[in-house]
Structure 1
């Protein structure tokens, strides 16, 4: 499957003379990476390079991690033919390296990659190795048959696509000054139809910083040290969080979020399937999320709440929310006197639950942190089913309707954010020593049946 974003490859480097590249012999429609022996130059110090993972012939998709071992490594670059596709991160000892390759920029089928290593104190390549992989992006996100892609971002560029994404909530308020809020993209703003208040400026769900809130971060495009909080590299987006407000009593962290400008709602004839591939931070006190809430619609009402669908919530603490837990939920909030028969979004009933799904939480058989997972929801006007890596976790009945009725219900905006702390994720404190951290997003896609 081709990337939904343009990917600009650069041709860097040339194959060394007299060093033949192994010829790829495979049928069309498959992609394999063939491992070749490291070839050190004769000059000391000796440099070696070998592929540690994946194994030769492995099937890969989306952003794929390559791991190398070697000796005296300083720089390792990965090429497909003459085009550089990745630069590896080399550890301080010079004995291992890791590269992230955006396979969506490669054609499905057999692909031969070549890694070239430079040693410390050398300007010339000192070792090479090759790897054959089978690229298969066409079915990688495991969307159901009969659904067609209608929206997506594969983060194949160099910066966040601001034509698709905003970086504040759709509500008013926030901790930033009027001058700072004036820098927000005007196309991300709305207006309260009654009061005229500008919407789209809210930078935290943790309050205004004068008292404890449910979270302990503010969302920024650039933190107080000048670091970008949204970066795009190797075919994925990183939402960064930094411990750069520790002098504040409550909102002690700076972090990042995205909100889709396009809004979505299923119909009975055309349900939706929303999916994302993410890598969660392995940091106590972190709270990455992927969720839906009411957007601006046509502007005749403020964005309503509820409704809300939480496709992924991953608060990480030592109080029952460990590295193997993924939360899902549908939200209600109502006055029992006004709605004596229950929430307008209900009745909410669980119609399916995996054996490892307990209430609103799924317990995986191993950590879901610091590795890529695909998380999705199949959404109809009156139900939601959740999936992880193609496995159905649970289904519940739920109506996407505001408390004020269908006439005041707006379509959903997609939200992805990296919250920090608060009484849930931060129940056992926040591990400041592991900052900065990132919530990595390989793609976001919406399919319609």
Structure 2
């Protein structure tokens, strides 16, 4: 019996000797970065520049602005060549982006700057600014993009097929977590996107209306079969009496016809349903990749259409005092929308691989004579 207990004691002692020694944690090494060059400045037109990131550990990097991106966005111990890309600056002001390098609890900021963009001034002599929307609203406290200012704009909520057999549903800025009108980085983005089985988008309108003036917006349009962005005007008192009450199309674009923009007017006597609309088109090869200024000058005598200050459309008042040919003597309001498909936008089919599609608006401005 004593022999058995001695054997058990020896076994327990042996097992105890196999216990691993306590693991000593690795010392916390502070990760540091050295970035060359110390500062990076981009031209307004947009470009790609290289930086060299030297670190003593693994890291990731994020940009605080969508116009500035980097590749690769991670690295390790030693040197990493990183390409920073900046898109063209659509604003007449310098802008900055903050890149954050992170490794665990350690981080370091690196700021890049971009020169102010140059925007042409094409406003005719004698006109003064009376209304403007620059879409410069800051992000919300939640970090989400701001929506268009409801003191200036109102949304239309329309089911698909309501107008022109279009395929999208217009919603009031968002549906659930799907946003279709967002302001960030100094521009408004109107987005046509899939939401469940629907395609949703936005159609927004100014609360104010004007009779005569120079109306302009700086825009970049989306491409792809099915897209149909527009910047246009309808009369303030319009009661579904189209086309008698008139329509002014400052800019329309259909994605299946890339590089060509259109301006038109519609009246009872001149409209597309009877093939008599007054319209013109102009080639703008970079309409999808660059911002351009689209405008009309509307007076008691004529309506002129412009792209970047170049006139390409004109409709004259015939002076007959007939609403069927000239209904353009009452207040009109401005409209921005991105349609999907429809009689014109979908004339050659739609390509849903192009969704989401983004229509970008830098500003909208209204000028009138004193």
Alignment TM-score > 0.5, same fold: yes
| Residue 99 of structure 2: aligned partner | 117
Q: In terms of Rg, which structure is larger?
A: 2
**SS of 1:424 mapped into structure 2:** helix
CA contact (8 A) 2:206 2:334 kept: yes
Distance 1:286 1:96 in 2: 30
| Residue 203 of structure 1: aligned partner | 158
Tell me which of 305, 311, 317 is aligned to 1:386.
305
Give deviations 1:146-172, integer Å, cap 9, x for gaps: 11011111112143110111111xxxx
Deviation at 1:382, TM superposition (A): 3.2
| Residue 177 of structure 1: aligned partner | none
| Residue 308 of structure 1: aligned partner | 247
Change (3 A) 1:128 1:89: closer
Give deviations 1:176-207, integer Å, cap 9, x for gaps: xxxxxxxxxxxxxxxxxxxxxxxxxx615733
Change (3 A) 1:129 1:276: closer
Distance 2:36 2:250 in 1: 47
Distance 2:36 2:354 in 1: 32
Change (3 A) 1:231 1:68: farther
CA contact (8 A) 2:160 2:170 kept: no
Change (3 A) 1:326 1:87: closer
**SS of 1:124 mapped into structure 2:** strand
CA contact (8 A) 1:47 1:126 kept: no
| Residue 218 of structure 2: aligned partner | 277
Change (3 A) 1:290 1:87: closer
Equivalent residues in 2 for 1:43-54, closer than 5 Å: 43=32, 53-54=42-43
Structure 1 residue 149 corresponds to structure 2 residue 136:
no
So what's the TM-score if we normalise by structure 2? 0.70
Deviation at 1:375, TM superposition (A): 0.4
Deviation at 1:237, TM superposition (A): 1.1
- What RMSD over aligned residues (CA atoms) do the two structures have, in Å? 3.7
CA contact (8 A) 2:188 2:360 kept: yes
Structure 1 residue 288 corresponds to structure 2 residue 270:
no
Consecutive unaligned residues in structure 2, runs of 5 or more: 1-30, 54-59, 74-82, 138-145
Deviation at 1:422, TM superposition (A): 1.6
Give deviations 1:274-319, integer Å, cap 9, x for gaps: 00001111232100001111122xxxx73542311111000111xx
So what's the TM-score if we normalise by structure 1? 0.59
Structure 1 residue 75 corresponds to structure 2 residue 57:
no
Structure 1 residue 329 corresponds to structure 2 residue 270:
no
| Residue 141 of structure 2: aligned partner | none
Change (3 A) 1:159 1:362: same
Distance 1:239 1:430 in 2: 18
**SS of 2:343 mapped into structure 1:** helix
Structure 1 residue 444 corresponds to structure 2 residue 333:
no
CA contact (8 A) 1:231 1:238 kept: yes
Structure 1 residue 233 corresponds to structure 2 residue 214:
no
CA contact (8 A) 2:68 2:97 kept: no
**SS of 1:166 mapped into structure 2:** strand
| Residue 371 of structure 1: aligned partner | 290
Deviation at 1:423, TM superposition (A): 3.2
Deviation at 1:71, TM superposition (A): 5.9
Distance 1:47 1:284 in 2: 44
Change (3 A) 1:88 1:376: closer
Distance 2:38 2:347 in 1: 44
| Residue 148 of structure 2: aligned partner | 160
Change (3 A) 1:405 1:349: closer
